[in-house]
Amino acid sequence: MPVEVDLHLHTTQSDGRLTPMQLVQLVAGKRLKVVAITDHDITDGLEEAYEAAKAFPQLTIIPGVELSTDIPGNEVHMLGLYVDYQDAYFQETLAHFREGRVGRAREMVDRLAALGMPVDWERVVQIAGEGAIGRPHIAQALVEKGYFQYPQEAFENYLGRNGLAYAEREKMTPQEAVRLIRGAGGVAAIAHPASLFGLDNLLAQLKAAGMQGMEVHYAEYDGPVRTRLADAAKRHGLVPCGGSDYHAFGTPGERLPGDLGPPMQTAVRLRELAHANARERAAWRS
């Protein structure tokens, strides 16, 4: 059965390489019917995406976001799906964390220079464009300077969590991210969780905080991993989400939109939950 749903996509508004318009054209060409744009800490690409989607009436775009959070010894990414991206508090919080990304990026560029791998800060800013600046933009600058062939190589030893040039930035806890997403009427889902230690305990904690989904149909996971995660989702009563996590990096083996995704019934269930969450939020505020 062809894949019709992809709930994890990035654009140039964060660390993707396609503009929102280009991404919409790509997923429409692959005959996807429901997609979520989930840029890091920013939703500014949604209006352009909605405008582009007018040419493809068969395509539904879910407003989303991806948030980086911290637990002891690891980083947890949380997806917000069907968020009210016009909510003032939600946008103020995202803006605050984007500012933290800039400071962290400057520090990492300084550390790279000290390690004998200088890159121009101005070039990093140019690569980021109008989007939320992040480590992939530094990685691209390193590739351009000839230090690495592919951005992922820069992450392996220098920009990743245990890398030589890594610097911390202010982050939320996963529970805080869940509450932020639910406060914006959205559905919170944990992203690419397969490698997280103590996953069952973490899922139980986040479910108690209001999380309603988890990625299972993640394009980089093989069948046995997806089966394990599907079992975990069932145990905890979480909707099995997923998608390509597409950035258009062009690295060997990069998975494309439409390669893997959840069934249409997942998109239907998420919409139902989002409507219920929106009603719940309205009741809180009344």
Give percent helix, percent strand, percent coil of the chain, each to the nearest 5: 45, 15, 40
Whether residue 230 lies inside any domain: the answer is yes
pTM of the model: 0.88
196: amino acid identity, one letter: L
Q: Residues with Cβ < 8 Å from 10, sequence gap 6 or more?
A: 16, 37, 38, 39, 40, 66, 245, 246, 247
Given 117, 136, 159, the domain boundary residue is: 159
Residues of the chain with pLDDT under 70: 286
Given 104, 134, 159, the domain boundary residue is: 159
Range of the domain at 263: 5-86+174-285
Given 159, 192, 207, the domain boundary residue is: 159
How high is the pLDDT of residue 151? 87
Q: Are residues 29 and 60 in the same domain?
A: yes
Tens-digit pLDDT profile for residues 217-271: 999 999 999 999 999 999 999 999 999 999 998 888 899 999 999 999 999 999 9
Tens-digit pLDDT profile for residues 85-104: 999 999 999 999 898 888 88
Quick one: how far is CA 213 from the chain centroid? 14
